[in-house]
Structure 1
Amino acid sequence: MYGRDILSVKQFNRGDLEYIFGVAHEMSEMVRRVGTFDLLKGKILANLFYEPSTRTSASFTAAMERLGGSVIPINEVRYSSVSKGESLPDTVRTLEAYADVIVLRHPEVGSAALAAQYASKPIINAGDGVGEHPTQALLDLFTVLEEMKRLDGLTVTMLGDLKFGRTVHSLSRLLTLFNVKLNYVAPPSQRMPEEIVAEIAETGVPQKETPNLEEVLAETDVLYVTRIQKERFANPDDYDAIKGAYVITPETMKQAKEEMIVMHPLPRVGEIAIEVDTDPRAAYFRQVEYGLYVRMALLAMVLGKA
Structure 2
Amino acid sequence: MSAVAVQMNKALFHALTVNQFDVPLIWQLIKRAEWLRGKSRDEARSRLQGKIVATLFYEPSTRTRLSFEAAVLRLGGSVVGAENARETSSSKKGETLEDVFRVVGCYADAIVIRHHDQDELDRAALYSPVPIVNAGAGSGEHPTQALLDVYTIWREVGRVDHLTVAVMGDLKYGRTVHSLLRLLAKFPGVRVRLFHPAPLGLPDDLAQELAQAGLSLERAPDIESCIDGADVVYQTRIQFERLAGEVDPKAASLYALTVSHLALLPDHARILHPLPRVGEIAPEVDSDPRAAYFRQVENGLYMRMALLDAMLGGDER
Q: Distance in 1 between matches of 2:57 and 2:146?
A: 19
Question: In structure 1, what is the equivalent of residue 226 of structure 2?
Answer: 216
Distance 1:216 1:226 in 2: 14
Change (3 A) 1:241 1:35: farther
Whether contact under 8 Å (1:184, 1:192) holds in the other structure is no
Map 1:62-211 → 2, pairs under 5 A: 62-80=70-88, 81-179=90-188, 180-211=190-221
* Contact 1:187-1:211 at 8 Å conserved across structures: no
Which residue in 1 is equivalent to 2:5?
none
Q: How many angstroms does 1:190 deviate by?
A: 0.7
Measured in 1, the distance between the counterparts of 2:167 and 2:43 equals 34
Number of aligned residue pairs? 304
CA contact (8 A) 2:49 2:76 kept: yes
Instruction: Determine the structure 1 residue equivalent to 2:35.
Output: 26
Query: CA–CA distance in 1 between the matches of 2:183 and 2:115?
Result: 22
User: Is 1:161–1:227's contact at 8 Å kept on the other side of the alignment?
Assistant: yes
Q: Identity over aligned residues, as a percent? A: 46
TM-score norm. by structure 1 comes to: 0.96
**2:309 aligns to what?**
300
Taking the aligned partners of 1:79 and 1:201, their CA distance within structure 2 comes to 40
The alignment's C-alpha RMSD in Å is 1.5
Name the residue aligned to 1:57: 65
Residues 100, 108 of structure 1: CA spacing in aligned structure 2 closer, same or farther, 3 A cutoff? Answer: same
Cα distance between partner residues in 2 of 1:147 and 1:164: 27
Alignment pair present for 1:250 and 2:254: no
Contact 1:164/1:232 (<8 A) preserved? yes
Write the deviation string for residues 216-259 of structure 1: whole angstroms up to 9, x where unpaired. 32221000000001110123x73425332311111111221111
Deviations 1:237-292 (A, max 9, x none): 73425332311111111221111000000000010011111110000000000000
The answer to which of 178-187 and 60-69 deviates more is 178-187
**In the aligned structure 2, how far is the partner of 1:35 from the partner of 1:41?**
11
Could you tell me which amino acid in structure 1 is paired with residue 295 of structure 2?
R
Q: Distance in 1 between matches of 2:278 and 2:21?
A: 32
Amino acid at match of 1:42: G
Query: Do the aligned residues in 1 keep the contact of 2:197 with 2:247 (CA within 8 Å)?
Result: no
Give the partner amino acid of 2:53.
Answer: L
SS, match of residue 2 in structure 1? helix
Equivalent residue in structure 2 for 1:37, among 21, 41, 45? 45
Task: State the distance in 2 between where 1:217 and 1:238 align.
Answer: 22
- Matched-pair contact (CA < 8 Å) for 2:52–2:110: yes
* Number of the residue aligned with 1:2: 9
Task: Show the counterpart of 2:244.
Answer: 234
Distance in 2 separating the partners of 1:34 and 1:219: 43
Which amino acid letter does the alignment assign opposite residue 55 of structure 2? N
Residue identity opposite 1:201 in structure 2: A
Residue 293 of structure 2: aligned partner: 284
Q: Does 1:274 align with 2:279?
A: no
**Alpha-carbon separation, structure 2, partners of 1:232 and 1:216:** 25
Secondary structure (helix, strand or coil) at the match of 1:167 reads helix
TM-score (norm 2): 0.92
